[in-house]
Amino acid sequence: MTHRREQQQGVSIIEAMIVLCVIALVAGFSAPSFESIRQRAELSGVAGQIETDVHFARSEAVARNRTLHLTLMEAADGGNCYVVHEGPAPSCSCAQLERAACAGAADVVRAMVLPSAGRIRLSANVRALHFDPLRGTVTPTATLRAESADGLALHQVVSLVGRVRTCSPQARMAGVAAC
């Protein structure tokens, strides 16, 4: 008596389960690295926006022939923000969520709000930068720090002539010079 074994077609349930387990393991190990990449990209984006706004404020002060200010302050929800504005700094606030406003003679030119729920915090060694329209200078010189929740940071060092240099404390961000 001879038995003929028929050729198997398709995949067995055991083989399918093994493939699914391998895929789940690979996805589980790669998820934390995706979060780290996303957080680094967000930090770089905020630092890039700060640099852009410093250059913008300097050139806008010259174009308007008026002194502009970049003032850092606390936002209404516990986050923080900065406002590029004309007029006195006390007239400006980030009291409205995700929006900055100035009252009286002050006028908002540009603003950035970082909510407390976000992963990036902004700090500086000065409260405000002043952009002189005649000389095109920035006073005082400053270091603006964008810091992520996982401890990474990018510093934007603003010189007297308005140049911005980006650096990373202890060179923790690849491709960025050490501070």
We report the CATH number of the domain holding residue 151 as 3.55.40.10
Given a cut of 70, is residue 167 above it in pLDDT? yes
Report residue 143 CA to chain centroid gap.
15
CA 127 from centre of chain:
19
Q: How many domains does the chain have?
A: 1
Domain that holds residue 152: 42-171
What one-character-per-residue DSSP string does 86-153 give? ES-GGGEEB-STT--EE-TT-EEEEEEEE-TTSSEEEEESSSEEEE-TTT--EES-EEEEEEETTS-E
Whether omega before 169 lies within 30 degrees of 0, making that bond cis, reads no
Condensed to tens digits (0 to 9), the pLDDT of residues 81-96 reads 899 999 887 778 887 6
Candidates 66, 108, 114; CA nearest to 91 is 108
Q: Is residue 93 in a domain?
A: yes
Tell me whether residue 5 is in a domain: no
Report pLDDT digits (tens) over 23-72: 988 877 766 677 778 888 999 999 999 999 999 999 999 999 999 999 99
Tens digits of per-residue pLDDT, 138-149? 999 999 999 988
Residue 1 has pLDDT above 60, yes or no: no
**What percent of the chain has pLDDT above 70?**
92
Q: Note the pLDDT of residue 4.
A: 62
Q: Is residue 122 part of a domain?
A: yes
Q: Which helix (H) or strand (E) holds 81?
A: strand 80-86
In a domain, 112, yes or no: yes
Calculate the average pLDDT of the chain: 86
Asked, for residue 150, whether it belongs to a domain, the answer is yes
**Domain membership flag for residue 7:** no
In a domain, 47, yes or no: yes
Confidence (pLDDT) at 3: 62
Residue-level pLDDT at 9: 74
Torsion angle defined by CA atoms of residues 71, 58, 50 and 91, in that order, rounded to the nearest 10 degrees: 20
Mean pLDDT of 107-136: 90
Is 144 a domain residue?
yes
Q: What is the pLDDT of residue 32?
A: 66
